[in-house]
Amino acid sequence: MSRKHDLTQAGRADHVQARREHDASDRLLRLGAGALDARPWRPSPAPPSAVDLVQFAVWRNADLDPEDVLSALSLLPAAHAEVEGLESALLFIARGAGLTWAQMANAMGFNSPQACQQHFNRLTARQDAGS
């Protein structure tokens, strides 16, 4: 297959995933997630994040039908990406604050400073590839 065909297929897959996430968000917002208080660090009227919506689904689990649960599951890739973005940002801030890789590795449970630094490099590489 040609590179152009591969890119077209990837674009379609991205479009399908984006539509799935949009539909899932709408479904959970209609179930009541839209009434969640805004986070103080998120400007109003920003909608709840994927992490917020997944947490809402977990909190409301007894009231969810299987389609609601599937909606929450379809938001997990976006929630993972959000958490990874937070993690890399916090590691970046920690380095800027003068913390060593050894200190950060200890706080995060890594076996070595090198493992922590490699983890950070993998996170940022995935974010760069996704943008």
Amino acid at residue number 79: A
The angle subtended at Cα 42 by Cα 18 and Cα 79, nearest 5°, is: 35
- Model pLDDT for residues 100-127, shown as the tens digit of each residue: 999 999 999 999 999 999 999 999 998 8
Spatial contact of 88 and 120, defined as CB atoms under 8 Å apart: yes
**Is the pLDDT assigned to residue 6 strictly greater than 80?**
no
pTM exceeding 0.85: no
CA–CA distance, 122 with 82 (Å, rounded to integer): 15
Residue 8 has pLDDT above 90, yes or no: no
**DSSP string of 74-103, one letter each residue:** HTHHHHHHHHHHHHHHHHHHHHHTT--HHH
Q: What is the pLDDT of residues 43-93, one digit of tens each?
A: 777 788 999 999 999 998 888 899 999 999 999 999 999 999 999 999 999
48 near 34, Cβ under 8 Å? yes
